[in-house]
Every structure is written in C-alpha cells, then in structure tokens.
Structure 1
Amino acid sequence: MASLERGLNILDVLTHRQEATVSEIAAELGCDRSACHRALLTMRDMGYVNQEGASGFTLSMKIFEMAMRMVNRLEIRPITRPFLEELRDKYKETVNLGVWDGKDVTYLDKCESAEVIRAELAVGARVPTHCSALGKAILAFRLPEEIEKYLSSTPLTTMTHNTLADTEDLRKELMRIRADGMAVDDEECYLGLRCVAAPIFNQRDRAGMSLSVSGPSGRITLNKLQAIGRDLKEACRRIEAALGRS
C-alpha cells in the first residue's frame, strides 16, 4: 500500500510540473530518494512516465490518453457545450475547446460554423502549441520553468510565413498574451485562417484547456479581435465556475 501511495503521489507531482528529477520529487514528497527512484523506474517500465536524459522524468502519453478517456467519462463536454454554442451563434464562426499535453493541443470539442467556408479540424486532431491560439493561450500561463522547458526542447516548426519560429519572438508573444489574457493565431498555422483564444484555469490556477473562435481571416478581421477576446475571456470564467473552480 505504501508503494501504491508513493506512486500516486509521484503522478500528482508530475501533473503539475512538466519535468522533475528524482531528488526534486523526493524533496517535494518528503520521502526516501532511493524508494522514489525505484518507484519511478517501475512506472517508467509500465509506461506511465518517461525518463528524459539521465535524471528527468515526465508524464507519458499513456497518462494523457487515460485523462482523455476520463474527460469523456466525466462528461465535461455537456457542461462546456452551451458556452461554445453561444459564441458560435454570436459570431457565426467555429468555436473550439482544446487541452494541452505539454507539447501539442488536442481538440476536445467544437461547434462548427454553418458557413460553407469555415475552419475545419476534427475533434481529436492535434496542432502545435507555438503556432495555434489554443496552444499559446495555455503556454503563456504555465509556470516559468515549464515555458522555458518547452522553448528549449521543442522545435518551432514553420507552418506558414507568419509562424513564430524564433524562440525570442515566441517568448515576447507569450508575455503579450499574459498581459492581454488572450492569444491570436494570425494565419500562423494555416494560411487564410485566423483564431482567437483564451485560457481556462483549473482549481490550482493552472491553464490546461483553452477556448477559441476560428474562421477565415477575411471574416475574423483585425478590428474584431478585441471584442471576440473579451467574450472568450468571459466564457472561460463561466466555464471555470461551471466546472467547480472556486
């Protein structure tokens, strides 16, 4: 039972840190370093954590997949869906709900625009964090060490001529997003597609999900961004309340 408790506590630590060493985890839990190391190796062999280099550990995709199944089981989408529909009906554009896994953003849900020309990405699709409004809205509000870990370890692939593929440019963009409370993808992932997003915070005040309005850049014009952003931020606060964030 002590081993099980230790393993669950380790998962809890890694849930809130993108990467941690054995010493850091043991210190946070106040447990023996050797016992902590043995538990991590067992969890690695079972596929629940990844070992990064000589000493760093992260949660694996297996945990993320389990979390995704749990999201479906807990029926989060019926709670959030009315807020997506409200924004879709107001702006006549596609509204998306995304979740971050530390590298990419996965689409949890969407309410599609009725327009013939519209943003089309299927639920379950993944997009890079650095060039998507959904991803940048989350990354900007993660812990400083998580942001630096992402910037130092993730290739910033150029998707279009607007993609922020330079680390310093992206760092400045994240600072602007923190100040504004909203992120914009100005044809950075797909040419002709513009997207505005805001973060959704959990009970620990961490951004793990985000909400966006996306559509052709000819309809989501630059002079609409602030109004859409305000409505997104308001919808995110209402979603947080509906999900039980105090």
Structure 2
Amino acid sequence: MTERLIQSIERAADVLELFLTSSEELSLKEMSDRLGLSKSTVHGIIKTLEYRGYLKQNPNNLKYKLGLKLFELGNKVSDQFDLSKLARPIIKELVDDLKETVHLVVFERGEVIYVEKMEGPQAIRIYSQVGKKAPIHCTGVGKSILAFQDEEEMERLLSNTELKPYTEFTMTDKEEIKKHLQTIREQGYATDDEEIELGLKCVAAPIFDHHGKAIAAISCAAPKFRMGDERQTEIIRRIKEAAAMISRNMGYQQKPAHV
C-alpha cells in the first residue's frame, strides 16, 4: 500500500475491532493489553470515541461497550447494500420452501462474511451469525467463492489462510483443497459435509457481479440426517437457481456454453 495511513485513525479502528472477537464490555486495561499500547494512549482514543458516540461507558463497572452511533452506521450500510436488498426476497422464498436455514455471504478483501441469515422453522444452533467471518477453506460458501477466483488469487488466499481443522473431515492439505475446488468449479456448487461442524451439511453456490467476479455466495444448511441424496439434489437445484437469479439481478450475463 502506497497511501499514507494515519496512525491515530488506525488505532481507533483497532479499538473498535476488539469488540468483534471479545465480550460485550472491555476495560481500559483489557484494551491496552490486547493492543500492546499504553493506557494513556488507549484512554485518549476511547474518550474521543465515547464523545462521538462510538463507545459507551458502563457507570457500574467503568467498562466500555459499542455505542449507538455504530448501530446507526450499520443500518445505513445495510440500507445501501444492494446485494442484500436484491437477495432478501429470494432467500425468504427459499426458507419458506425448503424449511431450512439460508445464508448470504460477501467476499471482501480476501474474507468471507455472513451478511444475511434467515432461519427455517426447524432451525438448529449452528456456527454462522451475521457479521461473523466464514472460514474460506471448509465452508460451502467459502469454497464456492474460492473456486471461482483466478489461479493467482486462489493461490494467494490459500497461502495466507490458516488451514485449520475444525472437525475430522476438514481438508487441510492445500493441494487436496485445490483439486476439490476444481470439482466445485466444474459442477457450479460446493458442499460442506461436516467440515466445520459435526452433524451439519451445507450446499452453496457463488454469486457473480456484472464483471463476472464471484463476489458472494448463498447457501442452505441443515442437519446431515435431513440431507439425504434426494433432498440434497433438490437443495442443490434450488440454491444454484437462486444464485443465478441474484447474479442476473446484479447484472451478470452468463456466457453461452460452447457446442
């Protein structure tokens, strides 16, 4: 990166991002320790963020939590996020028909993030939640996006990703994953068969923008015992159709197959 970054703003962002992986409230000492910065430096940052409404102090324990200003900004982002707007009615129809949980994720700066999660009537507690990052190497949504990156980007992402084993079925060998991604690219969808959570199976398909880039994915997740062969075939068909519909709404024009 050649642009000059402003250190104080970077540190303020670091403070806010602590709350992505931490408890709801953090003390000045906890933030200072985790960031490796002096208490005086962090104190100045959090008091400024508190003044602007991005943090709020609990008067009972003097710890800090996220403020309403971030909620306002988050809602503004959601309102302006065309992909979510376009996908929401399609997701609702899928949930109504399939009676299972449907996810929408976006691919941004090498990361896959859940932006929509709509649960069916038989929902079970699973890994995903809106705002959480999805592992790119062992989730259906992650693999369906990764499979449609160019070779250089795919190699870069796999090399920079900790290929962590979440279950005994998680693939952690880079070459094995690359072969698997080729299959996904050929069939147009990905599955996660207990790779991130035991007992859970997922079917996902990529969403393309008007440039033909895989920028998102949609998936259906269900307990493995509800995803038999016939049921899985139906879910694959519906997820691929939904992904294609959202892609068309994003301006994607699929090239005709050669004969």
TM-score, length-normalised on structure 2?
0.67
Equivalent position of 2:175 in the other structure: 168
> Residue 134 of structure 2 is aligned with which of 105, 127, 151?
127
> Residue 2 of structure 2 is aligned with which of 32, 41, 59?
41
User: Per-residue CA shift, 1:86-122, capped at 9, x if unaligned?
Assistant: 1111211000000123543211112101115354632
Tell me, yes or no, if the aligned pair for 1:107 and 1:125 is still in contact at 8 Å: yes
**Alpha carbons of 1:89 and 1:161: their partners in 2 closer, same or farther (altered >3 Å)?**
same
Could you tell which deviates more after superposition, 230-239 or 217-226? 217-226
Equivalent position of 2:248 in the other structure: 241
1:73 positional shift: 1.8
User: Per-residue CA shift, 1:71-97, capped at 9, x if unaligned?
Assistant: 542443232111111111121100000
Equivalent position of 1:211 in the other structure: 218
Query: For residue 118 of structure 2, what is the amino acid of its counterpart?
Result: C
**Alpha carbons of 1:223 and 1:104: their partners in 2 closer, same or farther (altered >3 Å)?**
farther
Question: Does residue 82 in structure 1 map to residue 43 in structure 2?
Answer: no
SS in structure 1 at match of 2:159:
helix
TM-score, length-normalised on structure 1?
0.70
State the alpha-carbon separation in 2 of the partners of residues 122 and 179 from structure 1: 29
Question: Does residue 147 in structure 1 map to residue 154 in structure 2?
Answer: yes
Structure 1: gaps (5+ residues): 1-39, 48-60
Equivalent position of 1:91 in the other structure: 98
Query: For residue 203 of structure 2, what is the amino acid of its counterpart?
Result: V
1:70 positional shift: 4.4
For residues 105-124 of structure 1, the aligned pairs below 5 Å read: 105-115=112-122, 117=124, 119=126, 121-124=128-131
Tell me, yes or no, if the aligned pair for 2:210 and 2:250 is still in contact at 8 Å: no
State the alpha-carbon separation in 2 of the partners of residues 67 and 146 from structure 1: 29
1:67 positional shift: 11
* Aligned-residue identity in percent: 37
SS in structure 2 at match of 1:177:
helix
SS in structure 2 at match of 1:41:
coil
> Residue 204 of structure 2 is aligned with which of 172, 183, 197?
197
**Alpha carbons of 1:69 and 1:158: their partners in 2 closer, same or farther (altered >3 Å)?**
farther
For residues 60-75 of structure 1, the aligned pairs below 5 Å read: 70=77, 72-75=79-82
State the alpha-carbon separation in 1 of the partners of residues 96 and 206 from structure 2: 21
Query: For residue 235 of structure 2, what is the amino acid of its counterpart?
Result: I
Tell me, yes or no, if the aligned pair for 1:194 and 1:216 is still in contact at 8 Å: yes
**Alpha carbons of 1:179 and 1:41: their partners in 2 closer, same or farther (altered >3 Å)?**
same
Question: Does residue 104 in structure 1 map to residue 111 in structure 2?
Answer: yes
State which structure, 1 or 2, has the greater radius of gyration over its C-alpha atoms.
2
**Alpha carbons of 1:116 and 1:76: their partners in 2 closer, same or farther (altered >3 Å)?**
closer
State the alpha-carbon separation in 2 of the partners of residues 113 and 174 from structure 1: 29
C-alpha RMSD over aligned residues? 2.7
Query: For residue 228 of structure 2, what is the amino acid of its counterpart?
Result: T
1:156 positional shift: 0.4
**Alpha carbons of 1:71 and 1:145: their partners in 2 closer, same or farther (altered >3 Å)?**
farther
SS in structure 1 at match of 2:138:
coil
Equivalent position of 1:136 in the other structure: 143
1:242 positional shift: 2.2
**Alpha carbons of 1:72 and 1:135: their partners in 2 closer, same or farther (altered >3 Å)?**
farther
Tell me, yes or no, if the aligned pair for 2:147 and 2:181 is still in contact at 8 Å: yes
Query: For residue 188 of structure 2, what is the amino acid of its counterpart?
Result: G
State the alpha-carbon separation in 2 of the partners of residues 169 and 69 from structure 1: 41
**Which aligned runs of 4 or more in structure 1 are off by greater than 6 angstroms?**
66-69
Q: How many residues align?
A: 191
